[in-house]
């Protein structure tokens, strides 16, 4: 009986010691995203409202909080009585911040071939990432949503985008 009790106590002690050791090791690992987590070129598909318009874009994040990009927008032509579509293009430039949890904010100035220039803020969340050799994360996919209705497509439309990182 004494041997069984000793074995049980020894097993409990070892399990407790290993458990604390593992917790301490896990606590030392940081799992924070940073501006460096968004680095490279990402393809984006933007949806306006209930599929009223669609934009295809390329956005480059420099890993230091700056972004640039281009877009092509396919939207209803507001002057058409037959449902015609209008294709416009444009550029964007701005900055971004990233929180430890993978959420963040982009502030972008858009310049459209239609003559519209506007500044917009978007909230985003990193939805997929890979761990880099140096320990940080690199986002491979993210989603964002504008804070205000679209300035490029009339009607007070909500815009959200899906981004996928393109190979280097």
Per-residue pLDDT tens over the stretch 76-91:
998 899 999 999 999 9
Long-range pairs, 53-58, Cβ under 8 A, ≥24: 53/150, 53/153, 53/157, 55/161, 57/92, 57/161, 58/166
Domain ranges of the chain: 1-30, 35-165
The neighbouring-strand residues paired with 71 are: 57, 90
**Torsion angle of the four alpha carbons 168, 124, 68, 65, in this order, in degrees rounded to the nearest 10:** -90
- Whether the predicted model's global pTM rises above the 0.95 cut: no
Measured CA to CA, the distance from residue 36 to residue 134 in angstroms comes to 12
pLDDT band at 31; cut points 50, 70, 90: confident
**35-165 has which fold?**
Lipocalin (2.40.128)
């Amino acid at each position: 009986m004494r041997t069984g009790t000793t074995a049980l106590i020894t097993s409990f002690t070892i399990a407790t010691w290993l458990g604390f050791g593992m917790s301490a090791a896990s606590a030392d690992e940081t799992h924070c995203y940073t501006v460096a987590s968004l680095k490279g070129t990402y393809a984006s598909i933007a949806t306006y409202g209930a599929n009223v318009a669609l934009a295809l874009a390329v956005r480059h994040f420099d890993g230091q909080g700056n972004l640039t990009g281009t877009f092509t927008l396919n939207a209803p032509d507001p002057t058409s009585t037959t449902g015609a579509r209008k294709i416009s293009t444009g550029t964007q430039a701005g900055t971004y911040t990233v929180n430890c949890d993978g959420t963040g904010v982009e502030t972008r100035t858009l310049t459209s071939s239609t003559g519209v220039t506007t500044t917009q803020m978007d909230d985003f969340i990193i939805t997929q990432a890979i761990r880099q050799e140096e320990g940080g994360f690199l986002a491979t996919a993210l989603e964002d949503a504008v804070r205000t209705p679209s300035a490029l497509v009339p009607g007070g439309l909500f815009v959200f985008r899906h981004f996928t990182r393109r190979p280097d």
